[in-house]
Each structure stands twice: as C-alpha cells, then as structure tokens.
Amino acid sequence: MRRKSPLLMIIKDKNNSAPGPIGVFDSGVGGLSILKEIRTLLPYYDYLYLGDSARSPYGTRSFETVYQYTLEAVTALFQMGCPLVILACNTASAKALRTIQQQDLQRLAPNNRVLGVIRPTTETMSAYTQTRHIGILATPGTVKSDSYVIEISRFAPNIKVVQQACPMWVPLIENNEHLSEGGLYFVEKYIQSILKKDKDIDALLLACTHYPLLIPSISKFIPSHIKLISQGAIVAQKLRDYLSRHNEIDNRCKRSGQVRYLTTEDAADFSEKAHLFMEEPIVAESMQI
Ligand code: DGL
C-alpha cells in the first residue's frame, strides 16, 4: 500500500540528517549472499539488512505485487535513515527498481538513491564469455521480466542470452534440501535444460541470491569449460565504484562497521536460516512493514 503524507514528510526530513546505514533489501535471507560480499569489500560502512521473509518468495509473484512489496520495504528503510538502498533481490530489481527510481523516488526522498543488482552484473558480462553465449539461471519472475536479456543487449549486443527459470531451487534451499537426492535431481534437470537450449554456452550466471549455495551441485553437471558466475563480488565492486563517484551519497553513509538484520518474519527462524549464507552467527530483529 502507498504510504500517507505524514510518513513522506518524515522521510523528507531525514534526507539531510545525520549519516545513516546503507540499506540492503531482499525478499528473504538470500540477499545475505550479496551483503556478505559487500561487507568483505566495504567493511567500514554501516548496513541495515531487511528481509521480507513473511512474504517470500517473490520469484513467482506478479509485477504489481513485487513492486508494492518492494516499495514498502524501500520506504521503511528510508524512514530508518538509509540514504541508499540496494535491492539485493534479482526479482525486485527486475520488477520494481525502475518504477521506484523513475516514479516514486522524487516523491519519497529525492536525495536518496535505490540501486539494483541487474545493471551492475550485466555491465561485466562480456568479460566472462569467449563464445559470446551466456546462460541465465533465475527465478520465473526474473526470467519473465526479460531484464537480463534487455540489459545485456545494451552493454554487449553481440552476446546471445539463453534463460532458464528454476522455480524449485529457492524452496529447496530455504528448506535446506538442496544437497539431498531430490535437490540434486532438480539441479540436474534445470542445468540439462539450459545446456540443451544452446550448446555454445561457456558461462552461466547465477541470477538469484540463493544460487551461490548450489555451486558445488551445479558443478557436477556442467563441463569444466563453463564458468559459473556469482553476483555478490560483482555487485560489491560496482557499489564501491558508485560511492567513489557519488560523494553526495557517500558522505551520507555512516561508517562505524555496524550491521543490523531485520526480518518481517520470526527473528529466530531468520537467524537460523542465515547460517546457510553467512559463516558468522547473526541475531535478527523482527519488524512489520
Ligand atoms: N531473492 C530472490 C532473487 O534473487 C530469490 C528469492 C525469491 O524468490 O524471493 O530473485
């Protein structure tokens, strides 16, 4: 639901206030795979992670629903003082980012910024392929949006992009079943399917926050010349570049190395699932958006 004007006024007041944490938003725990890499490269900033686990997964939801949920999350993070929000979720980046940037930001907090994970990833794709044939593994929502196909065609028009929706992978990981026999069955199924679509693929992009956990399993089913590309390190690198070019945002990002984890679901459940993505234990807090 759209926020009412008193909240917008609060957010606008915060535009010029003291430095705040960088917001990192995901539909659930998966975005921790992105945050982990961002913190490795940029440990001195403060971060406020928000996972909308109560309404996860986003990958099978409609454009309108993902947009509404993402807008609510971005609004909440702005309200909590974040000058910059990273949509660490591919599905949210595909279905909500552009509308929020073009339609909502001016109204919500014109001096703040919202960035996604698709643009920074696609900018670097050329470096990974010799054959100029790339495979995208993603949620049904991201595949349906065609965001990767459109963005890659901008930066590297000579690259052929083939997509594969992997609807079972996120639920398998969320239920810690991805290493089971049944989990491996679905890994092999989607990998065989995409490799059949284009025999010249030499790079597969893991275009979903959860998929880096599947690297050992996926590696069993692909020839050794095919590279597996994870986004976390790419996004972190691009964020560092962005902050070095945008002093007006960088100066508003707090630097005391603190991280807070918020979830719209049960905090203990989130903290436990976070173990899948983070080596260190985390303590999450529950909130409503
Ligand atoms: N975080 C989502 C993404 O990267 C995957 C989980 C979901 O479907 O919500 O697309």
* Most distant CA pair in the chain, distance: 57
Spatial CA neighbour of 85 closest among 289, 237, 239: 239
Whole-angstrom distance, CA of residue 63 vs CA of residue 123: 24
Lowest mean per-residue pLDDT among 11-25, 26-40, 51-65, 259-273: 11-25
Give the per-residue pLDDT at 15: 52
Whole-angstrom distance, CA of residue 200 vs CA of residue 135: 10
Q: How many residues does the chain have?
A: 289
How much distance in Å is there from the Cα of 56 to the middle of ligand 1? 8
- Count helices and strands (H / E) in the chain: 15, 10
**Better-scored residue on pLDDT, 147 or 15:** 147
How much distance in Å is there from the Cα of 60 to the middle of ligand 1? 9
pLDDT in tens, 113-122: 999 999 999 9
Q: What are phi and psi of 125, to 5 degrees?
A: -60, -35
**Within the chain, which residue ranges are assigned CATH 3.40.50.1860?**
19-117+234-286, 120-230
Q: Candidates 3.40.50.1860, 3.40.50.720, 3.20.20.70, 3.90.180.10; correct CATH number of 19-117+234-286?
A: 3.40.50.1860
pLDDT in tens, 260-269: 999 999 999 9
Burial class, 285, CB count within 10 angstroms (exposed 0-12 / middle 13-18 / buried 19+): exposed
What ranges make up the beta strands (E) of 116-159? 133-138
Spatial CA neighbour of 1 closest among 67, 93, 68, 89: 68
DSSP conformation class of 246: -
Residue 227 has pLDDT above 60, yes or no: yes
What distances in angstroms separate CA 225 from CA 12, 131, 159, 202, 219, one per listed residue?
Answer: 51, 11, 18, 6, 11
Most informative mutation of 25, 26, 62, 270 for ligand 1 (most atoms within 8 A of CB): 26
pLDDT in tens, 243-265: 999 999 999 999 999 999 999 99
Most informative mutation of 33, 89, 142, 175 for ligand 1 (most atoms within 8 A of CB): 89
How much distance in Å is there from the Cα of 93 to the middle of ligand 1? 10
Stretch 10-17: mean pLDDT: 53
Stretch 205-218: mean pLDDT: 97
Give the per-residue pLDDT at 279: 87
Stretch 202-215: mean pLDDT: 97
Atom number of ligand 1 nearest to Cα 57:
9
Q: Give yes or no for a cis peptide into 57 (omega within 30° of 0).
A: yes
How much distance in Å is there from the Cα of 11 to the middle of ligand 1? 27
CB contact at 8 A, 120 and 134: no
pLDDT in tens, 40-78: 999 999 999 999 999 999 999 999 999 999 999 999 999
Spatial CA neighbour of 182 closest among 162, 196, 192, 168: 168
Whole-angstrom distance, CA of residue 194 vs CA of residue 188: 10
Whole-angstrom distance, CA of residue 130 vs CA of residue 119: 21
- Per cent of the chain over pLDDT 70 is 94
CATH fold for domain 120-230: Rossmann fold (3.40.50)
Q: Would you name the residues annotated as active-site residues? A: 89, 208
Q: What is the mean pLDDT of the chain?
A: 94
Triad 266, 269, 272: Cα angle to 5°: 150
- The pair of structure tokens assigned to 39 is 């913190």
**Better-scored residue on pLDDT, 48 or 1:** 48
